[in-house]
Amino acid sequence: MKFQNKFFVSIFLALVLIVNWIHPAYAATVISVSPSSIINDVNRTITITGTGFDNTAIVLLDGAALATAFVDAVTLTATVPAGTSVGTHVITVTMGGAPLSASLNLDVTDSVAVPPTAIPTSTSTPSSFVRPQLVIDSYKANVSTVQSGQEFKININFDNAGTSGAFNVQAAFTSADLVPTKTGGVVALGSIAAGAGGNTSQTFLAADSIFGKTIVIVDVALTYYDVSGTSYSDKFTLSVPAGGGTGGVSYPTSTPTGLQSGQLIIPSYGTTIDPLQPGSQFTLAMTVQNVGNDIAQRVTMIVGGGSSGTGGSTPQPGGVSGGGGEFTNFAPVGTSNVQSLGDLRAGSMVQVSQDLIVNVSTNPGAYPMKITFSYLNDKGEVINDEQVITLLVFSLPNVDVSFYRPPDLFFAGQPGALPIQVVNLGKRTAVLGNMTVTSTSGIIENGSTLVGSLDAGGYFTLDSTLFPDLPGTVELNIVIEYTDDFNQPRTVEKTIELTVEEGSFEPMPDPSTEGSEGGEVFIPPGDESFLQKTWRFILGLLGLDSAPPASTPDMNIPPEKFPLPPVQEEGGAG
């Protein structure tokens, strides 16, 4: 029997020890990390996938906690800081302070890491590259200057600077101001060995278009082959001096007048709401300026991009295509995206506006918007000038700062509790920084804290204490710092007014006035003077109240104002 008792006791103790050793288990698992290899030059974001995650999950790198974001029950993201040591690190996850059993490996490399050197293999030594390469060694015309209507010849010397021979060499001559003669502009040079040279000549007739020019251009195109039949081609440009016409005959030339056209640009623009957020209705104001040298007629502005007129080589006025623009993130409201601006003279400008709304599904970011200005030039042709502007969309936190219960009355000189609460009224998680509470009068105790991440509908409380100095109105200034979507510092500010009442103090008892009641001072019995005792004796003879001073107030009446009443003689007796 004793042995059985000892056996059961041992089993019980063993079970107790096992229960104490076992950590609380979660039904969560860790499956993978992506990417599994990162470079430590900047902060890197990794994604951990698994099952059963909640918002208490924390990602650890070699046991050190990383900045973790809970995405959903199967996804976590964490930020690995820049400068993490190179090597293989262990990624683990804890939930509710208890680690999950699985762990993952993350390889961290340096941005200047040298890839492993490949083991050299025996390869055959490649043969040296060979090909023919023809160049022009020199060229010269048989006249000093070319005159219009004159026939002249250009002599050209070619060299083969390559490492193999050039076969079937052919030269083709073209020029806008010279007409090749006798050969039709094509000359065959045959074969040119490596390091050797060849020469040819071509006769030209100068056209009248060279009048007034000082130089004419001749293009030479060479084609040839190597010994294996591979074709090559080279192009050269020759210049020949020109000196006008012959026989003193003047030829008219066109006077350049320059291009006459308008050109519309947007030198500045702005929005009536800053910053823009999903769901915001705003007005886009723009300044449109004609920087061209001619009037822009019947200007049409198309927000989102489009065109005016029909297609083809000769556009015709009329008809506007403005429905094919990009309206995923911004859409017109109140009016369409097409406006008529009338005529805009050269150098003038006009102010235009367009009412738009930001789509509620738009994510924070920078979004380009195309603006098309379609107008007619002086020839009646349709001109489309397209501009691109950029609008920034933010998703700022929507938080409310107030008291989570009505505060108590505040009295001057006495501490009072400030039950402050921050509530996230937005539809997405808000990451907030430091919150600071200050007042215009008095001292704030416990007036600064870090808020952190707030889920949609979540709240954060701070219990501060106010020590007001003076009665009256006191303003509480609450400032919450955070960083917006473009990494710029911003603040949320809230002012709350409180009323401080006049302080009520219990007066300290004064030994000299102890026993006072209703402003009347009572003198202890031990402090009676002889005159006071005599007065009480006379009051007793007269049948009046002759109580001791403990219950009789001292009227502080000088004795000389109340003389003793005369004693009447009875029966002649004194």
On the question of pLDDT at 214 being above 70, the answer is yes
Residue 482 sits in the same domain as residue 531: no
Residue 239 sits in the same domain as residue 291: no
Q: Tell me the C-alpha distance between 295 and 343, whole Å.
A: 7
Residue 40 sits in the same domain as residue 70: yes
Is 24 domain-assigned?
no
Out of 33-42, 452-461, 562-571, which region has the weakest mean confidence (pLDDT)?
A: 562-571
Is the model's pTM score more than 0.95?
no
User: What DSSP assignment string belongs to 161-207?
Assistant: -SSS-EEEEEEEEE-SSEEEESSTTEEEEEEE-TT-EEEEEEEEEE-
Q: Which residue, 393, 417, 437, sits at the end of a domain?
A: 393
pLDDT tier, 213 (very low <50, low <70, confident <90, very high otherwise): confident
Q: Tell me the C-alpha distance between 342 and 375, whole Å.
A: 9
Per DSSP (E only), the strands in 246-315 are 264-271, 281-290, 296-303, 307-308
Residue 145 sits in the same domain as residue 241: yes
Query: Could you tell me the CATH number of the domain that includes residue 303?
Result: 2.60.40.10
Is 13 domain-assigned?
no
What is the overall mean pLDDT for the chain?
Answer: 80
On the question of pLDDT at 137 being above 50, the answer is yes
Give the structural domain span for 55.
29-109
The model's pLDDT over 265-293, given as tens digits with 9 standing for 90+, comes to 999 999 998 899 999 999 999 999 998 88
On the question of pLDDT at 21 being above 60, the answer is no
User: What DSSP assignment string belongs to 379-400?
Assistant: TS-EEEEEEEEEEEE-----EE
Is 254 domain-assigned?
no
Q: Tell me the C-alpha distance between 34 and 19, whole Å.
A: 36
Residue 496 sits in the same domain as residue 409: yes
| Total structural domains within the chain | 5
Residue 158 sits in the same domain as residue 202: yes
Residue 320 sits in the same domain as residue 435: no
Tokens of 40: 């430590």
What does the pLDDT average to over 303-327? 65
Tokens of 429: 């998680």
Residue 252's contacts (CB-CB under 8 Å, 6 or more residues apart) are none
Is 6 domain-assigned?
no
The model's pLDDT over 401-459, given as tens digits with 9 standing for 90+, comes to 999 999 989 998 889 999 999 999 988 899 999 999 999 988 999 999 999 999 999 99
Residue 381 sits in the same domain as residue 274: yes
Residue 281 sits in the same domain as residue 386: yes
Is 292 domain-assigned?
yes
What does the pLDDT average to over 224-249? 78
CB 500 within 8 A of CB 469: no
- pLDDT for 82 equals 87
Residue 442's contacts (CB-CB under 8 Å, 6 or more residues apart) are 466, 467, 468, 469, 474, 500
The model's pLDDT over 471-528, given as tens digits with 9 standing for 90+, comes to 999 999 999 999 998 899 999 999 999 999 987 655 555 555 544 444 444 445 556 7
Is 221 domain-assigned?
yes
Residue 379 sits in the same domain as residue 493: no
SS3 assignment, position 209: helix
- pLDDT for 435 equals 95
